[in-house]
A and B are shown apart, each in its own frame.
Chain A
């Protein structure tokens, strides 16, 4: 399954499928990006980060892709599990060390 950011704030995928969550950022000067996962009633939890001198970074079951030309970020989750159900936010680090968060995408994993 795949989201397109603000126009599709929810994403439902079958357990075991891959998920792709998209994020468009606005500031071309942003040089550091983080994906956070937020479960209901909890604070955001770090998933993976990427600096602007990279276009891809892989973690455990997650991959972040950065396209600076179109200012687009994506999070790919392999073999999505029920525990992956949460809201996912991308955050960009602009000038002055402020992290600006996107609206978020709610991921629901169907067993």
Chain B
């Protein structure tokens, strides 16, 4: 029973390039959450998605960042025109149905480094 799968594990981009981070939730889970973690800090909520629907994007920067969770395939977090400040670990989590007392299961993260 595979857990939450994220790829790539490490991603290096130059300033101005695009970064695409992928997340496949646990089998049977239909809700995906993206978090960002800077070194020595906690996880900051970015966006919460259900298949084909963004539920809450209140933590997403207004520009350059977007997320999707299509009917088929993984959830994608897309960062356009990356800057050095985007360097961080990005974690995806999933839950079965988004209920208020459902625990989140996390992937191993994607470490984004912007040169």
Which residues of A are interface residues toward B (Cβ below 8 A)?
A: 31-32, 34, 36, 41-46, 49, 51, 89, 91, 93, 96-104
Contact = CB atoms under 8 A, between A and B. Distances in A.
Contacts, number: 62
* Interface secondary structure of A, over-half rule: strand
Given A51-B101, A97-B100, 8 more contacts: A34-B104, A41-B108, A43-B4, A43-B93, A43-B108, A96-B55, A99-B33, A104-B42
Contact of A99 (B41, B58, B104, B107): B104
A32 B101 contact: yes
A104 B91 CA distance: 16
B56 interface: yes
B32 to A, nearest CB: 12
Interface residues of B, number: 28
Interface of B: 4, 6, 31, 33, 35, 41-45, 48, 55-56, 58-59, 91, 93, 98-101, 103-109
